[in-house]
Amino acid sequence: MPFRPLSLALASALVFAAAPGQASPHQATPTTVVSNTPSAQLPPARVKEALADYRHWLDELARRRSVAGLATAVVVNDKVTFEYTLGYANATTKEPIKPETVFRLASLSKAFATGLTSLLVRDGKLSWDTRLVDVLPFFKLKDMQAAEKVTVGDILGQRVGLPRNTYDNMLEDDVPYEELVRKLDEVDMSCVPGQCYGYQNVAFSLIGDVIYAKTGDFFYRLVDKRIFYPLGMKTASYGRAALEASPSWAHPHRAIGHGEWRPFEPNEAYYRVAPAAGVNASLRDMEQWLIAQMGGRPDVLPAELLAVLHAPGVSTPIEMHSTPWRRARITAAHYGLGWRVFTYGGETMIFHAGAVEGYRTMIGFLPKYHTGIVTMWNSAGATPSGLMPMMFDRLLALPHVDWAGLESPPPRIVKPARKTRKIRARHRRHR
């Protein structure tokens, strides 16, 4: 399985902090503003050792053929300090993953929607407190008094009051988005808007309709103009057609045996909720996005906007227990605006993960240390998801835990045909 590691120069000293404060779940607009003051620096020797360990873990992942293909990068102080790809964009043709290979981002798309919205709020086109009923005549909930309270900040902060993942099952069954958003008034509410967490894709994507109503321009065109183009995200796009038109794109794969993969056609469903899950991007694109989110591109995303996006909003205690590394490391969990805000080993971590059929993605960074990681792979296995917390453990000098299971013996490969012959031979012996 091919891989392409590339280690660049380690980053230099100063970083800028993002230290958002606690926001009330009732607030549509968090008010804490980031200060552009230098923050703590990770010891360069520790960073160097962590990168060496990360390369070793990735080499082991490649040796075990645990994924069809993968691309990952580490950014420190606005510099890409490590870049690595392995495996195949298409296992049938043996096309390798490259830094320019485009992946589906799944729910990492949400931060692009909130980033664009923050720019439009700054421009005065709308407000975090803009009520959906004032913009979208079709927006209704079962409790219309509750519907009248729902704001832009509520839908982007995952605090609408609907049960988690409302209508995702119907979206996967090819029911059109336009029909689903008009059926929200058939769903029993979990709580009053702003009071509780309920992760959404369909309701989240109403921001696309709001933006069109307030600007007269299409959501995806504004993201391209305001974010992709100025950040130099040259291969980033929306939709399946754009993915498949890319010079190199990562096909989704299914396992057909240990370390063997078969590509299949991308599923269309979640492309229909573009703000929630519609972005395609390469590793090189995501490096620029990570730099911008850590404050390295104030010309595109100023610090005062990032402070709002990354401020902890509604509490999400369920996110503290979903995986072993979260149970061990996370002591507080909230949803901001398109981002999860964790307390990881005593430090603030800004994080999000995504998954659609045949693709998984992760992005996370430590604002205090201006250090982040992005990882994308084109198969369903969860093994790579343990690498990011292993890396953050190493960077923060926390006790080492093999969250990815790479230090246990690899699974034995049993050939069914040979096993069958042994059974038949045994049966012959005992006749």
* Tokens standing for residue 102: 């485009």
pLDDT for residue 258? 84
The span from the CA of 114 to the CA of 428, in Å, is 68
Q: CA end-to-end span of the chain, whole Å? A: 46
Q: Which residue has the tokens 């298409």?
A: 90
302 phi-psi bin (left φ>0, alpha ψ -120 to 50, beta other): beta
Q: What is d(CA 128, CA 160) in angstroms, rounded to the nearest whole number? A: 13
| Nearest in space to 136 (alpha carbons), one of 158, 151, 124, 122 | 151
Is there a contact between 7 and 55 (Cβ–Cβ < 8 Å)? Answer: yes
Quote the pLDDT of residue 412.
59
Q: Are residues 411 and 257 in contact, defined by beta-carbon separation less than 8 angstroms?
A: no
CA distances from 53 to 200, 220, 384 (A): 36, 39, 14
What pLDDT, on the 0 to 100 scale, is given for residue 411? 60
pLDDT 10s digits, 383-407: 999 999 999 999 999 999 999 999 9
User: Tokens representing 240?
Assistant: 């399946």
Q: What does pTM read for this prediction?
A: 0.88
The sign of the torsion formed by the CA atoms of 204, 210, 215, 216 equals positive
Determine contact, residues 356/104, Cβ cutoff 8 Å.
yes
Query: Are 165 and 119 contacting, i.e. CB atoms less than 8 angstroms apart?
Result: no
**pLDDT, tens digit, 9 for 90 and up, residues 40-63:** 899 999 999 999 999 999 999 999
**CA 155 from centroid of its chain's CA atoms:** 18
Between CA 293 and CA 52 the distance in angstroms is 25
Q: Which of 244, 240, 251, 247 is nearest to 92 (CA)?
A: 251
Q: Which residues are paired to 265 by β-bridges?
A: none
Residue 16, pLDDT score:
26
Check: CB of residue 149 under 8 Å from CB of residue 192.
yes
CA distance 202 to 208: 11
From the CB of residue 238, how many other CB atoms can be counted at a distance below 10 Å?
22
pLDDT digits (tens, 9 = 90+) for 287-343: 999 999 999 999 999 999 999 999 999 999 999 998 999 999 999 999 999 999 999
What does the pLDDT look like over 136-158, one tens digit per residue? 999 999 999 999 999 999 999 99
Residue numbers of the chain with a pLDDT score lower than 50: 2-38, 413-431
For residue 283, the Cα-to-chain-centroid distance in whole angstroms is 13
246 vs 261: CA distance, rounded Å: 21
Query: What integer pLDDT is reported at residue 39 of this predicted model?
Result: 73
Three-state DSSP at 297 gives: coil
